[in-house]
Amino acid sequence: MPSYELVQADPRIYSKYFATYRPNIWFRPSWASIQNMMETANDVYWITRNGERLAGVTLLDHTIGSLFTVPPHPFTGEMAEFLQEQVLRTAADHPSIHADNVLSEHLGIFKAMGFQETVTRSCMMRPTEKVLSPAPVGFYPVPITAEFLPKVVSVMQEAYRSGTDERNLDTYVRDTAYFFENNQEPHLLGASSVILNADSHEPVGVCLVSLWEGLPLIYEVAVLPAYRSRGLGKYMICRAISHLEPFYPAIRLFVTSGNPAERLYEKLGFLSGGSYSTLVLKKDQAIAR
């Protein structure tokens, strides 16, 4: 194996490299915003060889995070093995080691080492504009208020059941409560909606829009299984895109790989910034290799 070294980085210098060489997969607003975000980061390191910087990485306990390479150097299996060895030395109290925010171009190397992919996601973005169409027949939107919190949780729980984004009840409650506590801007609440069945007047769909790093983010979008394929998800997203047009230039969302909604987002003009994955490797498997 080549003679690599791990050198703790000066965050001020590291942040400039990170902003330049790490792909902006989350469509952060500017190079400066990425650089500022990393300027106070701890636990950032250079992977070097003969004093030359080959890559940057965040190392936290048992986790390899947000790796990027410095041109013209590629990420290699030998470099990944070196990182694994470094993390194993500090992960005595953990049964496994993790790799977070792994770029798609690095995924194959981690998998070749035995890492198992647990989740892959991507951030998608499109411009806001007036694309609103009438609500599907038999349904109507109402403004979102905190009074809907229990029913929003119920819709999410049923809509996500057995899917890629399934969570436990406590998480749904916590995430929904966080939304209502932290998103009181009228434009965001106006872009959010609950869709009611015109006959029962019960919620069958929900779209929550928050603000993340200065741009709107579709925080949740869910439709009850019995009401899918009726255009409700498309309608709620288009409603948000249209409502926000006078106030913000673009809107973002996150999607988990394997979620059928990803195809809908593509049809609506959302562009992916590229995928990123979380992986795990059990320590006994790493040692055996």
Query: What is the rounded average pLDDT of the residues 180-184?
Result: 93
pTM confidence score: 0.92
**pLDDT reported for residue 122:** 97
pLDDT of residue 284: 76
What pLDDT does residue 152 have? 95
Sheet with 116-127, side-by-side order of all strands: 4-8, 44-49, 52-60, 63-69, 96-103, 271-282, 116-127, 250-256, 215-223, 203-212, 193-197, 139-142
Higher pLDDT, 89 or 243: 243
133 vs 20, more confident: 20
Tokens describing residue 210: 């928050």
Please list the residues that pair with 216 across neighbouring strands: 211
| Integer Cα distance of 232 and 282 in angstroms | 42
What would the mean pLDDT of 51-74 be, rounded to a whole number? 96
| All residues at 6 or more sequence positions from 229 whose CB lies less than 8 Å from its CB, including other chains | none
Instruction: Report which residue type is found at 139.
Output: F
The DSSP letter of residue 88 is H
Structure tokens at 250: 């673009």
Q: What's at 120, amino acid-wise?
A: T
Q: Output the six-digit token pair for 117.
A: 């992919």
Torsions phi, psi of 18, nearest 5?
-60, -50
d(CA 153, CA 15): 39
How far is 208 from 98, CA to CA, in rounded Å?
31
Mean pLDDT along residues 12-38: 96
What distance in Å separates the CA atoms of residue 116 and residue 262, rounded to the nearest whole number? 23
Residue-level pLDDT at 88: 87
Of residues 283 and 135, more confidence is placed in: 135
Mean pLDDT, the chain, rounded, equals 94
Per-residue pLDDT band at 289 (split at 50, 70, 90): low
Average pLDDT for 176-196: 95
Q: What region, left, alpha or beta, does residue 101 occupy, with left being phi > 0 and alpha being psi -120 to 50 degrees? A: left
What domains are defined for the chain? 5-122+276-288 (3.40.630.30), 129-248 (3.40.630.30)
User: If pLDDT is split at 50, 70 and 90, which confidence band does 67 have?
Assistant: very high
Q: Each residue of 100-154: pLDDT tens digit?
A: 999 999 999 999 999 999 999 999 999 999 997 899 999 999 999 999 999 999 9
> Among residues of the chain, what percentage have pLDDT more than 70?
98
Whether the per-residue pLDDT at 91 is higher than 80: the answer is no
**pLDDT given at position 1:** 57
Residue 48, pLDDT above cutoff 70: yes
Q: Is the pLDDT score of 285 beyond 60?
A: yes
Residue-wise pLDDT tens digits, 220-249? 999 999 999 999 999 999 999 999 999 999
- Assign 157 a pLDDT band (cuts: 50, 70, 90): very high
